[in-house]
């Protein structure tokens, strides 16, 4: 087991299986099927992300460097949370971008029961260590345990 310390963006504690992307997450391309066509598992539709394409994102500890794409990114995350199709948490190796921060913070403030803790600045070592299906636990202080 390894522990990594990051910065809490939206609070919460959770334990979930890891889903890892070494490239940026294009939120619109990734969540489009979940939002438009009712895919409750939030199967990643971004063909340009070989790490995530075709994999279920809902309920997973989504480990990634950053999000990429258009200015809809924050709204897409907010909508995924409002529909109950969000990852269990978002764990960023880099500092979070403003759009992902906006979507996750608004969801945590405006939506009742739509938990999606977010921790950023976990470092490159975190993203090198964590692998798909490892168990990830977020503690309230931003400590992330990976086993």
- Give residue-wise pLDDT tens across range 1-21: 999 999 999 999 999 999 999
Please identify which residue in the block is written with the tokens 């400590």.
Answer: 143
Look up the pTM and report it.
0.97
Instruction: State the pLDDT at residue 113.
Output: 86
Which tokens sit at 33? 């099927």
Q: How far apart are CA 122 and CA 143, in angstroms?
A: 9
CA-to-CA dists, residue 73 to 1, 24, 37, 131, angstroms? 32, 12, 18, 25
Name all domains of the chain by residue range, CATH numbers in brackets: 2-146 (3.50.30.10)
Please identify which residue in the block is written with the tokens 């993203």.
Answer: 127
DSSP H helices, the chain, are 27-36, 73-82, 98-110, 124-129
pLDDT at 47 > cutoff 90: yes
């Amino acid at each position: 087991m390894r522990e990594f310390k990051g910065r809490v963006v939206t609070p919460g504690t959770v334990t979930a299986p890891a889903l890892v992307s070494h490239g940026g997450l294009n939120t619109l391309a990734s969540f489009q099927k979940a939002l438009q066509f009712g895919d409750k598992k939030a199967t990643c539709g971004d063909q340009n992300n070989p790490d995530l394409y075709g994999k279920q994102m809902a309920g997973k500890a989504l480990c990634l460097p950053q999000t990429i794409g258009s200015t809809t990114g924050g709204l897409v995350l907010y909508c995924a949370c409002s529909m109950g199709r969000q990852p269990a948490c978002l764990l960023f190796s880099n500092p979070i971008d403003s759009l992902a921060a906006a979507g996750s913070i608004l969801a945590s403030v405006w939506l009742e029961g739509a938990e999606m803790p977010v921790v950023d600045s976990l470092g490159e070592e975190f993203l090198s260590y964590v692998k798909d299906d490892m168990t990830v636990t977020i503690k309230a202080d931003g400590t992330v345990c990976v086993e």
